[in-house]
Chain A
Amino acid sequence: MNIIVCIKQVPETTEVKINPETNTLIREGVKSIINPFDAYAIEEGVRLKEKFGAKATVITMGPPQAEAVLREAISLGIDDGILLSDRAFAGSDTWATSYALSAAIKKIGAFDLIVCGKQASDGDTAQVGPGISAHLDIPAVTYVKKIEEINPVRNTKAIIGEDKISNGVKDNFARVERMTEAGYEIIEVSLPALITVVKEINTPRLPSLKGMMRAKQAKIIHWKASDIEVELNFVGLAGSPTQVVKIFTPAPRVGGQMLKGETQEIVDRLVGLLKSDIP
C-alpha cells in the first residue's frame, strides 16, 4: 500500500501581529511550521503505514526552506520526503498548485490513498486537496473525521458484496466518515482516492528522538518543474487563473462598552441592546 501525504509550510498565524501604527503585518521572526491541519494528515498517513506496512511519502511545494517541514514529517514516521521547488511555481494559485502537485504525484507512481489537511491556515481555501483529485481524476472525500475501514487489496471479491461493485465502488475501497455542518455522512470510496482530514480524526503524536535522528539523515528528493511533466503555461503566476490585485489589513475590531452593575441591571440592559437584532 502506498500513501501520499501533501503538506504545506505556513507561518505560525497566531504570531502574525498587526503593527498598530502602520496597520501592517509584522512577520519578522515569525516561525514557519507545518500547516496545523496537515499534522492530522501526517498522523493518519503514519497510522496507516503502521497498520498495513504501507509506504508513506510526504510531498510539499514551496521554497527551498520548506525542506524543514518534510524532515519534521519524517521524524514523525513518514518514509520519504519530496520537495517540489522552482521559481517557475512562484505565485501559483490553487489551480496551478494542485496541477503541479498532481504532476509530481503522477511521477511518484502508483498510490492507494492521498491524504491532505482540510485546508491551510494561511490561505484557508480548502481547494488544493479536491483540486489534486480532479487533476488526477480520482474520487475525493473531504472533511474526513474517521476512516472506519480501509481495504487496499484489489480483487478480493469475497470480502465485498456484488452490490458495491455495481454501484461503482471497487473492491479496494475505504469507508470513511465525512463531517458536515449538521453531523457526518458515511461514505464508501474506491481506491485510489484522496481524502482531506479534520482535527477530529486523530491526535498527532510527538516526534521521537530516533525519528528526529532519521529525519536529519534522510535524503530529501528535490524536483524542479523540469523533473515533472507540467506545461509551464499552467504553473506559477502566469499559469494561474486568479490574480491578487490588492492586499489590505482590515480595521482591527475594537472593544465596545463594558456593562457594569448588579446582575439584574446588566441583564436588563443587555437584553434591551440585543432585542432588535434577534430575528
Chain B
Amino acid sequence: MKFLEKKILIKTLIIFAIYFSYTVIVSSLLGVFNLNDQIYNLFIADLIFFFGMICAYKNKIKDDYHEFLNKYKLKEKILIIFKWVLLLFIFNLIMGFLTEIFLPSAADGIDDNVNALKSLFGVSTMYTIFKAMLFAPIVEELLFRESISECINNKIVFMITTSLIYAIMNTIYGDMSKTYMILDFISYFLFYLILSGLYLKYNKNIVIIMFIKFFYNLIPLTILLLGV
C-alpha cells in the first residue's frame, strides 16, 4: 500500500473515530462549565464537527462546487436536482407501499430514526433544521460517501460499502427486535445505493449529492414544520 493511500485510510478512520466520540467529549467539556442542557450541548458539538469536516474537505467542496457551477447551465442544474429529488421521492413512496403489502403488521410501526427526529423537532426546531438541512447533506455525505470513496476505488464495492454503512447508521439506534427494521434497512440501503450511483454518474461530484439531499430533506421538513 502506498504512503498516500495509507494516509487517506488513516484520515478516514480518524474522522470516523471522532464522529463516534465527539458528542461525549464536547458534552463532558461543557459539563465542566456547568452547561448541562443536552440539546444545547449536542448542537454545539455538531457545529464544531460540522466546521471541522468542512475544513478537512474544503478543497474537494470548492472544486466540486466550481465544477457544478461551470459545467452545467442553470437550466441543467435545476433539472438534475429536480429530476433526482422527484425520482427518489417516488422510489421512497413505492418502498412504503411495498412495506405495507409485504408486511401489513408493520403499518402501525414508526421508523425509530424518524421518531428520534420528530422528538428532536419537539424539543428544538432550530436544531432539527440544522441537522436536516446542513449537517445531514454536508457532513454525512462527506463522512459516509466522500471519505469512503477516497479509500475504495472499486465502484461496485464502494457503492455497496457506503450504502451498507449508511443503512446501518440509520437503523442501528432503533429497536432491532421490531420486524419492520429489516424492511427499513433494505429501504435505506437501496435509497443510498441510488445516491452512490448518482455520485459516480456525476464524476464523484459530492456537491450535486449534497444539493439533491438538501432539497429532498426540504420536503419532509416542510411537512413537519407545517404540522400536516
Pairing of A with B: no
Binding site for B on A (CB under 8 A): none
Binding site for A on B (CB under 8 A): none
